[in-house]
Amino acid sequence: MKDTHPPTLLRSHYETLFRVSQVLSRSLDFHQTLREVLRTLEITGHYGGGMVSVVDPDAGDLAVHVVYGLDSETYQPVRYQPGEGLVGMILEGGRTFAIARLGDEPRFLNRLGLYDKDLPFIAAPIQAGGTLQGVLAVQPDAPDDGLLEERVRFVEMVANLIGQSVRLSLDVELERKTLAEERDTLRRTVRQKHGFDNLVGHSAPMRRIFEQIRMVAKWPTTVLIRGETGTGKELIANAIHYNSPRARGPYVRLNCASLPESLLESELFGHEKGAFTGAVNSRKGRFETADGGTLFLDEIGEISPAFQAKLLRVLQEGELERVGGSRTIKVDVRLIAATHRDLEAAVEAGEFREDLYYRLNVMPILPPPLRERMEDLPEIARFLLERLSGVQSRPLSLTAAAQRRLAQHSWPGNVRELENCLERAAVMSMDGEIDADLVRIDKPRAPAGRGAVSPAPTFKAQSAAEADTDEMEPGSEQSERQRVIAALEQAGWVQARAARLLGMTPRQIAYRIQTLNIEVRQI
């Protein structure tokens, strides 16, 4: 009995199949992988003229995807309709075609000018998941030796391997597309949640804030957000990041007042293994984590002078060393800082480094307290109630009397105090309607400690009955703005004199003039 599987051909086929499988497992770059497969078929298997065409699902035809052996500069793209030529015939019927001498087949079109008419030709379908995905065509490099059937089975095995790779590539591409869509959806959601839509108000002070955010978001400039507690400093930081070119990068936040200094250094700069008790592994700090993105440091005014020097180095040089390490690490981080403290007074008192102050105060943004934009209060209240409605899964509304009650309070705790007040009222409401008797306003607290931005003027707490009147009883003290203007007028609008009258430094009164939106007169 004649041996139909000569040892030489078998060894060549086994070796080639092994190498093809290696190529297909190395990369998910489909085009480059197929070129390497066709190269392996020619060099190891002695099958030249390798060509892979791929089904175009939209057009329903075959497009030549990869050709091995043609000059890529002169090669013109070729497509086959179903039934057109030998390749189109496979698209139509889905079966392997083989012939001992290509010149004997009248349907051969020779569009590529690649094949020898005196040599055999084999074309096999590439299947993935039971669906025709393309065609593999090759030509043995010697005339028919009577082993065409064995060669056909070999080419079909290669086509099956390519089909598995195609299926994997399609699955990976589908997953990549799904992940990209999810990512884009999440980015849109995050941008909406943390963008301008979360900053409510149309008053003149808020319009200035919006414009400042739009301007500063374009550049990697350091931003210092200054204002009273509850004025939305973190919302402003969020809006800057998510509307900046760094929006695709990481956004890392840290409240400097929430950690002791011993932990703050490790948290910001990271640490090496064994740097201190409990440091069982090396760990990146917030600066490294934020590389390529934005780092938001809230309550920056609470860090000690010793730590301020370490922070200054990172801001100046863009480099740091982990705790317990000696390797210098470069970082590209856009810094946004926030504080409610009067940093000018802290500098004067020696509690805050002047060089760090100037490094941080490149672009100051001063969100106004709620009492200076009371025209925004109805809109803010509606926004907060809509959010509370989602949490409580029921509609919530304010009566006219409740709105008047809200408008008659100075809100020293700003939007945060208003939010707490509305949430408390919503909890107490049986039917979702909030009337004046449910609006319980906290009694004003004593002024904040040394170094804080001046608190809001205090007003007498009102009862629910008193709150129903449209007019608010005047407070017993002048507002901070009136007090500063009165001192400036008395001093002939000379800021240094006005500062002495108020017991302030020139830097402090300059800050008050800026934060209180006082227009300086020239006399």
Q: How many Å apart are CA 238 and CA 247, to the nearest integer?
A: 10
Please report the pLDDT score of residue 212 as a whole number. Answer: 93
Query: How would you write the pLDDT of the chain (523 residues) with one tens digit per residue?
Result: 444 557 788 888 999 999 998 888 887 677 788 889 999 999 999 999 899 988 888 788 888 888 887 765 556 778 888 888 898 898 888 899 999 999 999 998 888 888 899 999 999 999 887 888 899 999 999 999 899 999 999 999 999 998 888 777 777 777 888 887 777 777 666 666 666 667 888 899 999 999 999 999 999 999 999 999 999 999 999 999 988 999 889 999 999 988 887 788 889 999 888 877 777 788 899 999 999 999 999 999 999 888 999 999 899 999 998 988 888 999 999 999 999 999 999 999 999 999 999 999 999 999 999 999 999 999 999 999 999 999 999 999 999 999 999 998 989 999 999 999 999 999 999 999 999 999 988 665 544 433 444 433 332 333 333 333 333 333 353 478 888 888 888 888 888 888 888 888 877 888 788 777 787 776 5
360 and 374 fall within a common domain: no
Q: How many Å apart are CA 371 and CA 412, to the nearest integer?
A: 8
Helix (H) / strand (E) containing 320: strand 319-320
338 and 407 fall within a common domain: no
Where a domain ends, among 327, 350, 365? 365
| pTM strictly above 0.85 | no
Q: Give the number of domains in the chain.
A: 4
Please report the pLDDT score of residue 466 as a whole number. Answer: 36
Please report the pLDDT score of residue 450 as a whole number. Answer: 36
At residue 114, what is the residue type? L
Q: Facing residues of 48 across strands?
A: 139
392 and 440 fall within a common domain: yes
Please report the pLDDT score of residue 354 as a whole number. Answer: 94
Euclidean distance between the first and the last CA atom of the chain, given in angstroms as a whole number: 120
Q: Facing residues of 52 across strands?
A: 66, 136
Residue 203 burial (C-beta neighbours within 10 Å; 0-12, 13-18, 19+): middle
Please report the pLDDT score of residue 62 as a whole number. Answer: 84
Where a domain ends, among 343, 365, 387? 365
Q: How many Å apart are CA 15 and CA 232, to the nearest integer?
A: 68
Q: Is residue 118 part of a domain?
A: yes
49 and 149 fall within a common domain: yes
Q: Is residue 189 part of a domain?
A: no
Where a domain ends, among 301, 331, 365? 365
346 and 415 fall within a common domain: no
Q: How many Å apart are CA 475 and CA 482, to the nearest integer?
A: 13
- Determine the structural domain holding residue 421 and report its residue range: 370-467
Helix (H) / strand (E) containing 49: strand 47-55
Q: Which residue's entry shows tokens 């129903």?
A: 468
String of DSSP letters for 356-398: HHHHHTTEEE-PPPGGG-GGGHHHHHHHHHHHHHHHHTS--EE
Please report the pLDDT score of residue 93 as a whole number. Answer: 87
Please report the pLDDT score of residue 363 as a whole number. Answer: 94
296 and 324 fall within a common domain: yes
Cβ atoms of residues 55 and 62 within 8 Å: yes
Q: Facing residues of 123 across strands?
A: 97, 137
Q: Which of 191, 287, 311 is nearest to 247 (CA)?
A: 191
Q: Is residue 223 part of a domain?
A: yes
